[in-house]
A = this chain, B = another copy of it.
Amino acid sequence: MFKSLAELRAACAELPSGDAASAAAVARREGQLTKPPRSLGRLEQLVEWLARWQRRNPPRLSQVDILVFAGNHGVTARGVSAYPAEVTTQMVANFAAGGAAINQLARNAGASLRVIPLALDQPTADFTVAPAMSEAEFLTAVTTGYDAVSPAADLVCLGEMGIGNTTAAAALVAALFAGGGGARWAGRGTGVDEAGLARKRAAIDAALDRHAGILADPLSAAAAVGGRELAAILGATLAARRQNIPVVLDGFVSTAAAAPLKKLRLDGLDHAMAGHVSAEAGHRTLLGELGLTPLLDLDMRLGEASGAALAVLLLRAALACHTGMATFAEAGVSDKA
């Protein structure tokens, strides 16, 4: 349990680096496999990345865990979403019953799925008028996320559900990457109309004004204008790094949630990849700010770790090639003219 922002900040500063030797061993083998050099493109880089952050050669994907955190948001009172706040709880029930997209996508990817609701009956405060969370509430949510990561996982996918949370995510990245405000970062979320989008922009700008004094600190910003499920994703991303587990981020909200780690340390998200770029307006911009190149671009905007779960399919394919292919020598194929 993180007991203070200072303690959490210290944990964010003590991060293991990747293992260059494992990554180099993967690259060496890739060069010997029966294909023109680098002709599997991004797939080869994925295996190197897995090896680097698992600190293991070859890497493995025996246990892939999908964690979906759910939270409720006081800012929904500002009319920022196309859906009523009770949908968060309804969708958590739908996850439990197996009826949501991520249930199908997790099974399809051979991944376990765990949905973790965070005090759904206690929405965060409307951050246009007060901090979304107290320091204690924020640290509790971060710790919940931190503790949700199993040390046995080979890969963790992080997703979310929470009516109103694209507003929180946009406010958070507007705080972290100053200069654009609501106009730069607000998108349509689940499908808000033009008037709702205007209210969303206004709510973000009001939050930036209201909390201006403390937004320079990434963790304070995450507490003031974020959300519980975002805080949990931050905690899970941190836990994964400290346990040598690579992370697949999902869409705009997941990426925004993890972004404070990059602001605290330039290499803070090097163990994380962007499973996809979503159709939510700010996601591509945010990935650019973070230097992340998304694996997929399928015009999705669902959240729930749905894009991350699809990325798992490509990671498995990449690893299957790496471990299963014959070398030029084994296959008796001429290596160049």
Contacts and interface: CB of A to CB of B under 8 A. Distances in A.
Interface of A: 33-37, 39-43, 81-84, 86-87, 90-91, 93-94, 97-101, 103-105, 107-109, 190-191, 279, 295-302, 306, 309-310, 313-314, 316-317, 320-321, 324-326, 330-334, 336-337
B332 A90 contact: yes
26 contacts: A34-B99, A35-B302, A36-B82, A36-B191, A37-B191, A39-B191, A39-B300, A39-B301, A42-B299, A43-B300, A81-B337, A84-B334, A90-B331, A90-B334, A94-B333, A97-B326, A98-B326, A99-B325, A99-B326, A100-B325, A100-B326, A103-B324, A107-B320, A310-B314, A310-B317, A313-B314
A90 to B, nearest CB: 4
A293 to B, nearest CB: 10
Contacts of A190: 36, 39
A202 to B, nearest CB: 18
B298 A93 contact: no
Nearest to A310: B317
A334 B37 contact: no
Nearest to A333: B90
A210 to B, nearest CB: 25
Q: Which 8 A-B pairs have the closest CB atoms?
A: A99-B326, A41-B299, A42-B298, A104-B324, A313-B313, A41-B300, A36-B190, A39-B302
A104 B298 CA distance: 24
Given A86-B334, A90-B334, A298 B325 contact: no
A121 B293 CA distance: 44
A320 B98 CA distance: 12
